[in-house]
């Protein structure tokens, strides 16, 4: 088992060099300093979904004098379903528009306001801040399928905390893939976190135990534990998550404080299957929506939160360490529906 130190405030230089391209960024932004640029990237990441809603809904009503009738409502339902928001939310919007606007000639903005209201009620009902420890390290377990953006999201989470001046230790628990460990080591160097790792193929629960022990002994603020990427249908690997949770709890009884599922925003309805399997096996408490770029259909947030009661805790919109922010429903809806953002508080 190896332990690497990267950029600790109270310790000397690293005892194991990161890859050459892992040099620390020139700037270390404080919490929230990247917010304006992030909002622009969020808007760009939701552009595909926004076009479906704005352009297509407006096109449905562009013919002068068109009534809100059953033909219109069926076309509206089809537009909504293409955003991946799911049949339940789509039907609720159609019902609301039918009840309030049927047999009327309406402006597209009136229909978009109905969409906004229905989506807001669903997203706000599950909104929840990140749970953190009252004392000692906050322990976060991160899960997800291969290719979901899990390792990169862990790095971004670490940067989220280090940019606030908090100390972070990472547990490289994806021991089945040497590349995953090396990638996390590179990111640890970039974001100023300490890394605990094991040999390729070693017991992931052992790595998790050592990482949390290091966080406790070293007085770290946050410990983020990676897990092997897996499919939600692989029962043996899913059972391993339970073992990891148990060994963590032996050191910090209330841990993990959060178990986050990383979902690829481009996965569409397959995200529902992922959420179902991981919530049952890993006790997931929230979602990191990764890869929210121009190819994603961001409406998938709605059925995931609605069916499983899992709040979206963070959204990622790019490849840099700063491209992750806590999820804010109002900004998300503004990017979807009008491209404008509410003033930052």
- The CATH number given to whatever domain includes residue 272 is 3.40.50.300
Q: What is the pTM of this model?
A: 0.82
Q: Has residue 22 been placed in a domain?
A: no
Length of the chain equals 345
Q: Show pLDDT as tens, one digit a residue, over the chain (345 residues).
A: 444 443 333 333 333 333 333 333 333 333 333 455 777 888 888 888 888 888 888 888 876 668 899 999 999 999 998 888 888 889 999 999 999 888 888 888 888 888 999 888 888 877 788 999 999 999 999 988 777 889 999 999 999 999 999 999 999 998 888 788 999 999 999 999 999 998 888 899 999 999 999 999 999 999 999 987 655 445 666 678 888 999 999 999 999 999 998 988 877 767 677 667 677 667 789 999 888 876 667 788 888 787 777 888 999 887 788 888 899 888 888 888 875 555 444
Q: Has residue 268 been placed in a domain?
A: yes
Distances (CA, A) of 66 to 73, 106, 329: 12, 8, 32
Q: Which two three-digit tokens encode residue 31?
A: 């919490």
Query: Residue 339: its pLDDT value, please?
Result: 59
Q: Has residue 20 been placed in a domain?
A: no
Q: Has residue 21 been placed in a domain?
A: no
Q: Has residue 141 been placed in a domain?
A: yes
As a whole number of angstroms, the distance between CA 342 and CA 112 comes to 17
Q: Please give the order of strands across the beta sheet that includes 258-264.
A: 2-4, 194-197, 168-171, 222-226, 138-143, 258-264, 286-290, 312-316, 324-326
Q: Has residue 225 been placed in a domain?
A: yes
As a whole number of angstroms, the distance between CA 43 and CA 337 comes to 10
Q: Has residue 28 been placed in a domain?
A: no
Q: 10 Å Cβ neighbour count for 342?
A: 11
Q: Has residue 310 been placed in a domain?
A: yes
Number of helical H runs and strand E runs in the chain: 12, 9
* Domain span at 319: 1-13+35-340
Q: Which two three-digit tokens encode residue 56?
A: 């297509």
Strands 168-171 and 194-197: parallel
Number of domains present in the structure of the chain: 1
Q: 10 Å Cβ neighbour count for 15?
A: 11
């Amino acid at each position: 088992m190896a332990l690497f130190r990267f950029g600790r405030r109270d310790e000397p230089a690293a005892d194991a060099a990161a890859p050459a391209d892992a040099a620390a960024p020139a700037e270390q932004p404080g919490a929230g300093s990247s917010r304006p640029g992030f909002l622009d990237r969020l808007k760009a990441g939701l552009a595909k979904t926004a076009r479906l809603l704005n352009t297509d809904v407006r096109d449905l009503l562009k013919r002068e004098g068109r009534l809100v009738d059953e033909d219109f409502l069926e076309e509206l339902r089809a537009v909504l379903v293409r955003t991946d928001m799911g049949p339940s939310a789509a039907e609720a919007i159609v019902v609301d528009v039918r009840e309030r606007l049927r047999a009327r000639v309406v402006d597209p903005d009136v229909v978009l306001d109905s969409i906004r209201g229905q989506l807001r009620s669903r997203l706000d009902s599950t909104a929840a801040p990140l749970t953190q420890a009252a004392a000692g390290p906050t322990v976060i377990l991160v899960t997800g399928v291969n290719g979901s953006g899990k390792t990169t999201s862990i790095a971004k989470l670490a940067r989220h905390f280090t940019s606030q001046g908090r100390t972070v230790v990472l547990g490289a628990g994806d021991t089945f893939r040497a590349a995953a460990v090396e990638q996390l080591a590179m990111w640890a160097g970039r974001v100023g976190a300490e890394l605990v790792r094991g040999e390729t193929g070693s017991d992931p629960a052992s790595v998790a135990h050592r990482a949390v022990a290091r966080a406790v002994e070293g007085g770290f603020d946050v410990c983020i534990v990676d897990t092997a990427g897996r499919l939600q249908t692989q029962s043996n690997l899913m059972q391993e998550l339970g073992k990891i949770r148990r060994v963590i709890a032996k050191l910090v009884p209330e841990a993990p404080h959060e178990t986050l599922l990383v979902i690829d925003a481009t996965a569409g309805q397959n995200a529902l299957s992922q959420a179902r399997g991981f919530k049952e096996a890993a006790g997931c408490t929230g979602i990191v929506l990764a890869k929210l770029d121009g190819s994603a259909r961001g409406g998938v947030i709605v059925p995931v939160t609605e069916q499983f009661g899992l709040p979206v805790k963070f959204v990622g919109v790019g490849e840099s360490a700063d491209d992750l922010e806590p999820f804010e429903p109002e900004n998300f809806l503004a990017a979807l529906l009008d491209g404008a953002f509410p003033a930052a508080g």
